[in-house]
Each structure stands twice: as C-alpha cells, then as structure tokens.
Structure 1
Amino acid sequence: MTNRIRYAIAAPKARQAMLQFEEYVEHCGLELSLLRLVQTRASQLNGCSFCLDMHTKDARAEGESEQRLYLLASWREATCYSERERAALEWTEAVTLVADSHVPDEVYERVHTQFTDEELVNLTLAVASINTWNRLNIAFRTPAGNYRPARKGASA
C-alpha cells in the first residue's frame, strides 16, 4: 500500500490540533489501560492497521497482557475484562458504529452505571479521537509496522 498524503506535513496545524485533542484525552482521568483497549477496539472495527500497530505496542509497553489484546475482538465471550472495561468496549462499539444503531438507550444505561457523567463524556471523546485518527490514517494510507513506543519513563 502506498502512502497517499503525509498529512502531518501537508497540514501541520491540523495535526497539532489533533495532538492537543489527544493530549486532553490521555490526561482526562480515565485509566490509560482502558484508553488503550478503546483505541485498539475502535481501530479493529475500522480496520486501521497503523493505529492497531501503535496502540497494541503502546499497551504492551505499558504492561498490558498479550492475552487481553488477542481476545479483544471477542471481548463479550472473554472473562479477562472488568465490568468497567466491558462497558467501555460496548460504548466504543456503539459510538464507532453510530450509523448502525445510533447508540441505543439500553447501551447508554448499562455503560452509565460504570462511568460518571464526566467520565462518559471523556470516554466519548476518546472514541471520537481514535475514530478521527483512524480515518486520517486509512484515507491517506499511512503505512503500519514501524511504530516504536516511547521508552517507559521517557518524557514525551
């Protein structure tokens, strides 16, 4: 696959705006491990190989188990996720696939038992952020496979 546009070079201010959005999401108070599951699951649904490469590598570097990453596509049948993680994954799927079901009330009710109002807004922003990154990387064919996570403890 050939990279169509290097969007970070073509529109650096747009990339900077996305990085600021991502900075908020990364520090909004939700668990980093939960954010990595959300990022990975949305990227699976969207078929974004660049983001899958990035977020699974980041998750592993931050201590996530390979088993939980392997089972993520079938999280409903797997027993290794907490109720909060399961709720976040259900919300991720509903928001990512919003055109299919418009985020049903029963999904909202189940998820809202695990997240405060503020956390649910932040979770929704996390889903929106990864979906935007997925769309940029898929549309412009950003090649996957070369991502290296930052060293643990290194400054960003």
Structure 2
Amino acid sequence: MIVDLPEDKDPILYVWGEMVPGIGIPASAFATSVYEHTTLGLREFEAARLRIAQINGCLFCQDWRTERDGVRVEDTFADAVTHWRTTGDFDDRTRLAAEYAERYAVDHHGLDDGFWTRMKAHYSDREIVELSMCLGSWLAFGRLNHVLGLDAACVLPSNAVPQQGGH
C-alpha cells in the first residue's frame, strides 16, 4: 500500500471517505451512479467493466461481479472478456463493449470512423455516451485503487459484492 492507513480502518472507506472527503465522497457517488443508473445490458456492461479491470490490473475490480435482480454473468465470462476478439460467447454488442473498453483505455486516439460506424450500428448515441462515462469511471477509479495498492488490501472473496469503490 502506498499510503499509510490506520490499522482499524477499511482501506477503501478511509481513502475515499476520510482522507479527501471533498473529492472522494463525490467520486464515490459518481462510481456508484454508474451501477445504479445504467441502462446498458448486464453482459455488455460487464464486458466493458471487466476489460478495464484487466487492463488496469485492479485485483478488486477483477474480483467484482455486477449483480442485477439476482443475476450475474457466468463464471467463465472473465476469460471470454480476455479473449473478446475470438470468443464465441459474445454477441456483437458485448464484443463491441469489450473492444471499446480496450481501445478507450489504451488507444483512444485510434478510435477511427470504421469503429464508430460499427458502434453506431449496435448502440444508440445515448448508449455510447453512457458507456463512455462508465469507462471513464472504471478507468480512473480502478487505476487509482491499483496504483495506491488499495486493490490488494481490499480484494473481495471471489465474486462478492462490495458496498462502494472504483470497480
């Protein structure tokens, strides 16, 4: 862990809520709103989120699974996200979500007209904006958690559901 924390404090809650409350609490509200107000389907949401988590290397984010109405993606989903180009488990929207996540994180200058033509064939403008905001949240906050070492201190039991943070 990069920052010193009191032993009796939860690392995520302390850093996000107590160290810089004027920034951390609103940032946490934004991170939470991505989950509470999304209109994206679970599979494309999770494909994009997991691809960002894999790129960031955030252990916390990679262990997280979004749940909606008691439903989660299958156990093999993370592996399919790693192989988004070739997996037979994804429809076009899910594959594009994983591709967009990867390109957003590592080559946003390379998002060319051909890519946007494919995106617009499967996503509305509203969905593209929503997915872009989700990607920004996951990229920033998952990377913050990883860089500061919070992800290692707060690794979830496999597929558990945490209360907040930068998943």
TM-score range, shorter chain: 0.7 to 0.9
Q: State the partner residue of 1:153.
A: none
Q: Aligned-residue CA RMSD in angstroms? A: 2.4
Q: Distance in 2 between matches of 1:118 and 1:137?
A: 28
Q: Are the equivalent residues in 1 in contact too, given 2:49–2:135 (CA < 8 A)?
A: yes
Mark the runs of 5 or more structure 1 residues left unpaired by the alignment.
151-156
Sequence identity (%):
22
Q: Which amino acid aligns with 1:33?
A: R
- Cα displacement (A) at 1:78: 0.5
Once residues 64 and 10 of structure 1 are traced to their aligned partners in structure 2, the CA distance between those partners, rounded to angstroms, is 34
1:81-133 Cα shifts (integer Å, max 9, x gaps): 1111111111111111135x432222121112111011100010010010011
Q: Scaled by the length of structure 1, what TM-score is found?
A: 0.81
Q: Give yes or no for the alignment of 1:86 onto 2:95.
A: yes
1:120 aligns to 2:140 (yes or no): no
Map 1:36-55 → 2, pairs under 5 A? 36-54=46-64
Could you state the TM-score of these two structures normalised by the residue count of structure 2?
0.76
Which residue identity does 1:28 align to in structure 2? T
- Displacement of 1:15 in angstroms is 2.2
Aligned pairs for 1:6-155 within 5 A:
6=11, 7-8=15-16, 9-26=18-35, 27-54=37-64, 56=65, 58=66, 62-98=71-107, 101-142=109-150, 143-146=153-156, 148-149=160-161
Residue 3 of structure 1 and its aligned partner are, at CA, apart by 4.9
- Single out whichever of 32-41 and 83-92 deviates more from structure 2: 32-41
User: Residue type matched to 1:85 in 2?
Assistant: T
